[in-house]
Every structure is written in C-alpha cells, then in structure tokens.
Amino acid sequence: MLRYAYFPGCASESTAKSTTLANEFVFGAVGIDLVEIEDWCCCGATSAHTLSETVGLALPARALSRAERDHPDLDVVTGCASCYARLKLANYKVRTDKDAAWLVEKALGRPYTAKNEVLNFLDILSLDEVKASIETAILRKFKDLKVACYYGCLNIRPAEVTGAKDRENPMAMDEIAVLTGAVPVDWGFKTECCGAAHQNDAARQTRPLTARILENAMAAGADVILTACPMCQLNLEMRQTEYARKREEKKTGKKVFPLLDMVIKPEPQETIPVLSLTELLAIAMGAGGRRLSLDVHHVPVGGVIAQGLSGMNEKEVREAFI
Amino acid sequence: MNENHTLEHLMKKADVRSYDCYQCGKCSGGCPMAEGMDLGPRGIMRSAQIGALDSILNSSTIWLCSGCYACVDRCPHDVNVPAFIEEARYEAMRRGIVRRDSEVLNRTFLANIRAFGRSHEMLLAAFYNIFALKPTQDLTSLPHMISKKLIPIKPDPIRGVGDVQAIIARAERLDKLVKEVRE
C-alpha cells in the first residue's frame, strides 16, 4: 500500500471543501494512505517570500521537518499548487544551496535534511499502479463530457525545481481524466498563470488573466474546466459573474452597478463550471453530490455532470447531484 | 555600496547576467501580467543592462510579477527574471520603496499566520479590504461563501502557533544579519 505524509494546505479548511472531500474519497478508493502532517502551518504562499526570503523558506520547512521527524520514510504530498511550489522550493533550496540550508536550520531551530521528496497529487495519480486502481474503482463512465485540463503554473514551473518534462502542453491530467470517459479538449491555456497570487492586491491587472483562461476553454468547446489546485479552482469560478457582466458591458456599452452581481446571474452559456480532477474521479467512482458537497461551487456543476452521465434515471440524478 | 555595485550584487544573488539577455522579447510576449506592468520583464532586463537600478526599484513590475516563471521557461538564454525581480523587490523594501496595496496584503497575510499559524481567508480579505480602502472588492461572493459554510467564522489557532511565531521572528533576524554581513 502506498503511504504519504500529507500537507492539506489552508484552503482545505475553507474554500476547498468539496475538493478536500473528493480527495479523501478518491485516495481511499484507490488504497493510498495519506497521513496528515501533525500540526502543520501555512506555507506562507506568495506573501511570506515577497516580504522575506528566509521566512518564505522557513514556513514550508517547518511542515517538512515535522514530516521528516514523524515519518522518516514517507514522501510529502500536497493537493495545492501554491503549497506545492513553496514546499518544493524549500526542499530544493535545502538540497542545493548550502547558505539557504544553514538559514533554514537556524530559523527552525531543528534539523531538516530534505531527504524525502515533495510531490503533488498529479505525480501520484499518474503512477501506473495507481492508474490501474483508478480504472478498477470507476463504477460509471462519463459520455461526451468535454473537459479542459488546467494544470496551473506552479504545478509545472519552475522546471528546474519541479522537474516537469513538458511545460507548455503537459498531458498527465488529460491521461487521468480519460479514465473516467471524459474527453479532454486541445486548448492553449493549460499552464497559463491565473493570477491567483495578486487577485487581492492588483485586482485590475489580474482579472483579465482569469477571464482569458475561461474564454479560451469555452472557445475550445469544453463543458467543464478541470483543476489540480484549490487556488486555481476558486479563482476560476468565483468571479465568473463579474467576467460575464464585463463582457456584456463591452458588447452593449452600458455600465451595470458591480454590486448587482449578487442578484443578477448570467446566462448559463456565459459561464463554465469548474471541477477539480479528484471531484471528477470521485463522481465516476460513485460518490454522490451530497457526499462531496458539490453545491458549494460558485458556478453550478449539477447540470453538466447529469449531462455527462446520461445513463442515469431522474432519481439517481437527484440523489447524485445536490 | 554604490548603485552599480548594488545592481551587480542583486544579479549575482539571482544568478542572472544582464548581458545574457538579447532583448528578443519572448518574456514580455508571454508574460500574463505584462499588459498591467510598466517595464515588463524585458524592460527590467534592459534597465539592468544600462545600469538603471532606480527605474527597476521604482517600477510596478517588481510588485506585479506573479512568479509563474513563464518568462524564464521560454527564454532562449535561461535568464531567471523572476529571481532577479525578487531580489530587486527585497532591495526596494530595504530602501522603503513599497507598493501600498501589496504591502497591506502581505503584512495582513503574515499577521494572520502569526496569529493562527494558518491563513484565514475571510479575515485576510476583510482586513485587506479595510486597510486598502476597497470595501466592495469581492463582496458579491460573500453571501455564497457564508451560506455554503465555506469560510469558518471563528478562526482556530494551531497548537504550535508559538513555534510558528518564533520561527518567523528568528527568520526575520537572520535576514537582517545577512544584510549586515553583506554590507
């Protein structure tokens, strides 16, 4: 049985509710044991390393050193691209840069040798034996569900840290999605940055990044976008009303009061549902919408799933999707 | 240290040589943030080539870089622009040059970690909106977040929150020490 030390990340406790439930479901179903790192802390994300290099390395190193102490034989895995980037960088720096290793150890006040690997969910789900278990665990397959696999920048780059082979057109996620019967579309924004890091402090400059990704996925004919990171997930779905309104404003030339986004919802064809890869897998493995709390999505996902699983009867659809 | 020495030092630390860049523009062409930036990655490298440290430190570019590494990935000479931008940002902060919105967000974020050991998204957004004077930003998502119980109302500190605070304090002291040794 595969075992990993697990770093859930702060989003797992709040906005990534359904993704976290799906992660548990999927990893349980394929028989992978995730051992949560005891009393883990925030990795510092974008802000810590923006303010200070050493804080930016020491925070992820705290979680990693605890994993090393409690589970010396286990590699660390996380489901968030932002956490992954910080954990992986701390691991890489301690291995390759003596000065950084010294600073990290002094800041932590305990040793961290970085002997174990840092992985993301895609690394694990792509293993041949895991793919075989996924195939066995899948109970129902999607039909004609077109998915745009969005990897996010930090699962892939910087390449010398992540070791990613193909940075422009990775296929790991597409190959996993195919197992559920979904049809991945060919599109251009697989590893384009969604700007999640600056959506608060530079909203005006980053909103177009997300809008472009959504528009490209829709233009490629995708029914749903698949993500591998709760930050990308939230960022791609929570402001779709705003983007639809802005597109409408551009077309008609009439301005709408922004706070009306709360009540005026766009036409369904103006938005695109966003699911995490593990949610798609969990649904294919038989998990229902209630079990996964799929109603937490900002853009409703029930319709597209029901359409993808067209073999279901009305009661099953109701049970399965919220 | 004079300006040229500082610039050399920043580049050395980032392992970047300005003469490696031949201004082809693939970086700015692929930079997702380029249209919102003043210099953009190519402009940063051009400024480094002509020794215009001042224009680098006062640019919006160093604060808007999202660190997605698309530029260095596509650079024919592997010039690590994000690493250089990060060093430039540290130098700007040492001189007291900050972009207000970034400063508010980053300080709020770190205060969150100091208080709870983890990031509490609602408090982060709320305090950011208050201090950055943007009360309505993302407000329209709030009813959904609350009704679906996506954000815990009451923040729960982790057990090792004291440990986290001590690590941050030690790391900040080390940063200062490193700076003094260099000077």
Q: What is the pLDDT of residues A280-309, one digit of tens each?
A: 999 999 888 888 999 999 999 988 888 888
Tell me the mean pLDDT in the region A149-162.
92
Q: State how far the alpha carbon of A106 is from the alpha carbons of A50, A55, A97, B16, B120, in Å.
A: 20, 11, 14, 27, 27
Q: How confident is the model at residue A316 (pLDDT cuts 50, 70, 90)?
A: low
Number of domains in chain B: 2
Say if residue B84 is in the same domain as residue B106.
no
Sequence-separated (6 or more) residues with CB below 8 Å from residue A96? none
Tell me the mean pLDDT in the region A197-209.
94
Residue in B with minimal Cα distance to A238: B141
Tell me the domain boundaries of chain A: 2-121, 139-285
CB spacing of A205 vs B33 below 8 angstroms: yes
Statement: residue A43 has pLDDT above 60 = yes
In degrees rounded to 5, what are phi and psi of residue A198?
-115, 20
- The one-character DSSP state at A78 is E
Mean residue pLDDT across chain B: 93
d(CA A199, CA A207): 7
Q: In this structure, how many other beta carbons lie within 10 angstroms of the beta carbon of residue A135?
A: 11
Say if residue B26 is in the same domain as residue B11.
yes
Statement: residue A236 has pLDDT above 90 = yes
Q: How confident is the model at residue B151 (pLDDT cuts 50, 70, 90)?
A: confident
The whole-model pTM stands at 0.94
Between A314 and A16, the higher pLDDT residue: A16
Q: How far is B141 from chain A (nearest CA, A)?
A: 7
pLDDT of A64-98, one tens digit each?
Answer: 999 999 999 999 999 999 999 999 999 999 999 99
Interface confidence: ipTM more than 0.90: yes
Q: Can you say whether residue B52 is alpha, beta or left, with left for phi > 0 and alpha for psi between -120 and 50 degrees? A: beta
Q: How far is A193 from chain B (nearest CA, A)?
A: 6
Q: How confident is the model at residue A222 (pLDDT cuts 50, 70, 90)?
A: very high
Say if residue B118 is in the same domain as residue B171.
yes
pLDDT of B92-109, one tens digit each?
Answer: 999 999 999 999 999 999
Residues in chain B: 183
- Residue B163: domain span: 100-182
Judging contacts by C-beta atoms under 8 Å, the chain B residues touching residue A202 are: 36, 63-64, 101-102
CB spacing of B171 vs A54 below 8 angstroms: yes
Say if residue B41 is in the same domain as residue B106.
no
| Structural contact between residues A155 and A229, judged by C-beta atoms closer than 8 angstroms | yes
Angle at A176 between CA A171 and CA A178, to 5 degrees: 95
Q: How confident is the model at residue B40 (pLDDT cuts 50, 70, 90)?
A: very high
| Structural contact between residues A278 and A315, judged by C-beta atoms closer than 8 angstroms | no
pLDDT at B180: 85
pLDDT at B122: 84
- Print the SS3 string covering A193-236: CCCHHHCCCCHHHHHHHHHHHHHHHHHCCCCEEEECCHHHHHHH
Tell me the mean pLDDT in the region B142-147.
89
Residue in B with minimal Cα distance to A260: B140
Q: How confident is the model at residue B25 (pLDDT cuts 50, 70, 90)?
A: very high
Q: State how far the alpha carbon of A49 is from the alpha carbons of A54, A92, A169, A170, B107, in Å.
A: 7, 15, 28, 27, 12
Rg from Cα positions in chain B: 19
Architecture (CATH level 2) of domain A2-121: Up-down Bundle (1.20)
| Structural contact between residues A296 and A17, judged by C-beta atoms closer than 8 angstroms | yes
Q: How confident is the model at residue A322 (pLDDT cuts 50, 70, 90)?
A: very low
Under CATH, which number does the domain A139-285 receive?
Answer: 3.40.50
Q: Is the peptide bond before A158 cis (omega within 30 degrees of 0)?
A: yes
Mean residue pLDDT across chain A: 92
| Structural contact between residues B83 and B89, judged by C-beta atoms closer than 8 angstroms | no
Tokens of A214: 């959504």
Say if residue B109 is in the same domain as residue B84.
no
Say if residue B127 is in the same domain as residue B90.
no
Say if residue B30 is in the same domain as residue B54.
yes
Which of residues B37, B71, B94 is at a domain's end?
Answer: B94
Sheet of A32-36: strands edge to edge?
A32-36, A2-7, A76-78, A118-120
pLDDT at B1: 61
Statement: residue B120 has pLDDT above 90 = no
- Residue among A14, A39, A208 whose CB faces B160 most closely: A39
Tell me the mean pLDDT in the region A255-275.
89
Q: Tell me if chain A has a CB within 8 Å of the CB of B111.
A: no
Q: How confident is the model at residue B153 (pLDDT cuts 50, 70, 90)?
A: confident
Say if residue B10 is in the same domain as residue B87.
yes
- Please, which residues 131-170 of chain B have a Cβ atom closer than 8 Å to chain A? 132, 134, 136-141, 143-145, 148-152, 158-161, 163-164, 166-168, 170
CB spacing of A52 vs B148 below 8 angstroms: no
- Residue among A10, A158, A258 whose CB faces B69 most closely: A158
pLDDT at A313: 54
- Please, which residues 9-28 of chain A have a Cβ atom closer than 8 Å to chain B? 10-11, 13-15, 17
Cα maximum dimension of chain A:
62
Q: Tell me if chain A has a CB within 8 Å of the CB of B4.
A: no
Q: How far is B49 from chain A (nearest CA, A)?
A: 24
| Structural contact between residues A192 and A213, judged by C-beta atoms closer than 8 angstroms | yes
- Please, which residues 33-52 of chain B have a Cβ atom closer than 8 Å to chain A? 33, 35-37
pLDDT at A48: 94
Statement: residue A256 has pLDDT above 90 = no
pLDDT at B117: 95
- Residue among B105, B107, B148 whose CB faces A296 most closely: B148
Residue in A with minimal Cα distance to B162: A41
Q: State what percent of residues in chain A have pLDDT above 70.
A: 96
SS3 state at A158: coil
pLDDT of A20-39, one tens digit each?
Answer: 999 999 999 999 999 999 99
- Residue among A51, A53, A200 whose CB faces B128 most closely: A200
Sign, CA torsion A95/B48/A192/A186: negative
CB spacing of B102 vs A50 below 8 angstroms: yes
- The one-character DSSP state at B58 is T
